[in-house]
Amino acid sequence: MRYIFIVNSNIHSGKIHALNRAIAALPEDIWRIVEFTEHENHAEQLATYYSEKYGADCIIFACGGDGTVHEVANALAFRNSPMAVLPLGTGNDFARTIYDPEIYKKPLSILKYLNTPNIRPIDMLRIDSYDALGNHLPIWSRYSLNIASMGLDTLVQAKAKLIVAKHPKSRFYRNNAYSLAAVSCLLAGWRYKMDYSIELENGEIVEKKNVRYSLASICNGRYYGGGFCPAPDAQIDDGVLNVCIVDHMSRMQAFSQLMKYKKGKHVGQPGFTFYRSTSGIFSSLDSNFQLQGNYDGEDFFGHKVRYEIVPKAIQLATFTED
């Protein structure tokens, strides 16, 4: 088996040095290649290249945060090269779903178990965006491995990116960027409306008009935004997406519910609606106003946004002591 490590060059230099040392310490009989990204979408290009070259004879590691995972996953969807994740970025949220805490907190320990990969097919979700005339927008249409969302949380994510960019060498700001951004956005306020049509796992269609909301998350994984847990029961291989729609709330209500939402304790609470869904459509009520969202932390826009589950779309390799 060949191991391809695609490393986001923008991760903290200390993590890069530690990764280099760990890879150099691997036994000589372990065949490995290390590639560092040089520009946007380079991780996706590298993953495509090595998948086409080696197929099922390689495991391709996304070494970075959720943005790196997003690129590699889009490259490897429907291919026979398994992908793996070394969580070395800021959020690392998809890794929270696939690894136990002791592995997640010491990601380089994964390299001890390279010879015993657990490879299985898992689901992805697909986002397709459309303009006000109904034209498909390829630039804002992608696969997502973890979570896509719209509304307040996308504003939080954008603010968190600015915080990290402003303090690139600060571990405190990198570790707490999402929480700091959430407080900032809650203080600023928000106002969102949409129509939606959601297909449930039993085929039933739920339609609602002129919905005032704070955010909507479409979840394959359980975590996003640096540890927020909108869908504590989500499974990445059950063929169903967990959709959470949060009603419009006042600032005081949102502050009181924020920690419940982060810890996944909001299930069953007033103001939170959950659907187990296979597809759905969210539509803006204003032809001059696009919905703004993100998939795996990467921004997208559209007057109409359609999502659907894509079962068993990608091969995932995980590594544990067992």
Binned at pLDDT 50, 70 and 90, residue 264 comes out as very high
Do residue 169 and residue 233 come from a single domain?
A: yes
The string of DSSP letters for 205-258 reads EEEEEEEEEEEEEEESSS-BTTTB-S-TT--TTSS-EEEEEEEP--HHHHHHHH
Mean pLDDT along residues 180-194:
78
Q: Report the 3 state secondary structure along 153-187.
A: HHHHHHHHHHHHHHCCCCHHHHHHHHHHHHHHHHH
User: 108 in the Ramachandran plot: left (φ > 0), alpha (ψ -120 to 50) or beta?
Assistant: alpha
Do residue 76 and residue 103 come from a single domain?
A: yes
**Separation in Å, CA 51 to CA 2, 61, 124:** 11, 11, 18
| Residue 59 located in a structural domain | yes
Do residue 255 and residue 279 come from a single domain?
A: yes
The string of DSSP letters for 270-309 reads TTEEEEEEEEEEEEES-TT--EEEEETTEEEEESEEEEEE
**Separation in Å, CA 18 to CA 173, 267, 314:** 21, 39, 29
Of the candidate ranges 56-70, 155-169, 192-206, the one whose mean pLDDT is the lowest: 155-169
Do residue 75 and residue 224 come from a single domain?
A: no
Do residue 302 and residue 215 come from a single domain?
A: yes
CATH code for the domain of 227: 2.60.200.40
Q: Which residue has the higher pLDDT, 247 or 171?
A: 247
Contact 216, 154 (CB under 8 A): no
Do residue 19 and residue 111 come from a single domain?
A: yes
Please identify, among 64, 82, 115, the residue that sits at the C-terminal boundary of a domain.
115
Contact 64, 83 (CB under 8 A): no
Tokens read off for 132 = 């006000």
Binned at pLDDT 50, 70 and 90, residue 287 comes out as confident
Mean pLDDT along residues 176-196:
79
Please identify, among 115, 149, 173, the residue that sits at the C-terminal boundary of a domain.
115
Q: Is pLDDT above 80 for 88?
A: yes
48-68 b/e with 16+ CB inside 10 Å = b? bebbeebeeebbbbbbbbbbb
**pLDDT of the residue at 189:** 65
| Residue 297 located in a structural domain | yes
| Residue 318 located in a structural domain | no
Binned at pLDDT 50, 70 and 90, residue 255 comes out as confident
pLDDT tens digits for 219-240? 999 999 888 899 999 999 999 9
Q: How many domains does the chain have?
A: 2
SS3 131: coil
Do residue 170 and residue 302 come from a single domain?
A: yes
Q: Is pLDDT above 70 for 322?
A: no
How confident is the prediction for the chain on average, in pLDDT? 91
Please identify, among 115, 140, 163, the residue that sits at the C-terminal boundary of a domain.
115
- Tell me the residue type at 284: S
pTM assigned to the model = 0.89
**pLDDT of the residue at 178:** 73
Mean pLDDT along residues 99-127:
93
pLDDT tens digits for 143-164? 999 999 998 878 777 788 788 7
Mean pLDDT along residues 285-305:
90
Domain that holds residue 202: 125-313
pLDDT tens digits for 36-63? 999 999 999 999 999 999 999 999 999 9
Do residue 92 and residue 161 come from a single domain?
A: no
Q: Is pLDDT above 70 for 77?
A: yes
Q: Which residue has the higher pLDDT, 263 or 186?
A: 263
Binned at pLDDT 50, 70 and 90, residue 181 comes out as confident
Q: Which residue has the higher pLDDT, 262 or 279?
A: 279
Mean pLDDT along residues 82-86:
97
CATH code for the domain of 33: 3.40.50.10330
Mean pLDDT along residues 99-120:
91
Query: Element (H or E) spanning 76, and its range?
Result: helix 66-76
Cα–Cα distance, 303 to 289 (Å, whole number): 7
Q: Which residue has the higher pLDDT, 214 or 208?
A: 208
